[in-house]
Amino acid sequence: MTETGRFVWYDLMTTDLPAARDFYGHACGWTIAEAGMPGTDYSLAHLGEVPVGGMMTLPDDVRAQGGRAGWMGYVAVTDVDAASAEIREAGGKIYRPPADIPGIGRFCVAADPQGAVFVPFRGDGPLPPTPTPGTPGHFGWHELHATDWEEAFAFYASLFGWVKTEAVDMGPLGIYQLFGAPVPDSGCAGIHTGGMMTNAQVPAPFWLYYVNVEDIDAAGSRITAGGGRIVAGPHQVPGGAWTIHAFDPQGAMFGLVGQRPNA
């Protein structure tokens, strides 16, 4: 059975690939090198021997349509074409129709009805194993900033089978709804894999992806030393972890989550 509803890959679209490689290599401890895919400048980020994400130059046609540097998350589905049709029927958009990546899998680039971009994906082989929660250097959290999180959740629950887990009351900021992907063959939610909230302060809905780090303060220092910009944090979140929101030097937003050993 193909495991669906799980984030399985992450891609950075950037305006300066060499600079982005240098920045994330230092900030996240990744080793980044060209993937050797003919006709592309695609690079792979590794943590040791384990691939954690990819990077490529933002295509000119995407930039011409107003696209900006940013991270995209890939979510496993059993049938990309069926998912594409369901997204359209639910009011979402398909920016790139289903296509094959030879030897890798099939994907499309989509947006939910509120405009947040994501990538439905089916691999040609087994999905990569889920890292142990909190493993430094891996993506460890997925956060949707929506105009209406309840409507957004209904869309993703229908598409991916996500289920609500814990709801956190954030006072004036409203409810932060945690969700989990279903466990294959059980129908039950797995561990918390992300959260979503209504955020009227952002210009457009988006997904924010967090990288696990050992020391949030040391990681924040690496961001600023590399020319990035911290826009929020470190803030402590329920459960005791600390988070940072930041922009890389090319303007792509990302998050970090980790501990504060010296606090």
Q: Which range of residues forms the domain containing residue 115? A: 7-123
Is there a domain that residue 132 lies in? Answer: no
Closest listed residue to residue 200, CA positions, set 103, 109, 96, 114: 114
Quote the pLDDT of residue 43: 93
Quote the pLDDT of residue 103: 85
- Total residues found in the chain within this entry: 263
Task: Record the pTM.
Answer: 0.92
Distance CA 172, CA 192 (A): 23
Q: What type of residue is 237?
A: V
| 18 preceded by a cis bond (ω within 30 of 0) | no
Are 165 and 99 in a shared domain? Answer: no
Quote the pLDDT of residue 21: 95
Distance CA 240, CA 49 (A): 30
Is there a domain that residue 130 lies in? Answer: no
Are 154 and 253 in a shared domain? Answer: yes
Are 68 and 146 in a shared domain? Answer: no
Residue that finishes a domain, picked among 123, 150, 173: 123
Q: How many domains does the chain have?
A: 2
Quote the pLDDT of residue 193: 83
Q: Could you tell me if 68 and 16 are in contact, meaning their C-beta atoms sit under 8 angstroms apart? A: no
For the chain, which ranges sit under pLDDT 50?
1, 186-188
CATH code of the domain containing 223? 3.10.180.10
Are 116 and 174 in a shared domain? Answer: no
Are 172 and 210 in a shared domain? Answer: yes
Quote the pLDDT of residue 187: 46
Work out the burial of residue 73: count CB atoms within 10 Å of its CB; fewer than 13 is exposed, 13-18 middle, 19 or more buried.
buried
pLDDT in tens, 128-187: 777 787 888 999 999 999 999 999 999 999 999 999 998 899 888 889 999 988 765 544
Quote the pLDDT of residue 185: 52
Is there a domain that residue 155 lies in? Answer: yes
Quote the pLDDT of residue 1: 36
Is there a domain that residue 131 lies in? Answer: no
Is there a domain that residue 223 lies in? Answer: yes
Is there a domain that residue 133 lies in? Answer: no
Q: Could you tell me if 204 and 211 are in contact, meaning their C-beta atoms sit under 8 angstroms apart? A: no
Are 248 and 147 in a shared domain? Answer: yes
The continuous run of DSSP H or E covering 216 comes out as helix 216-225
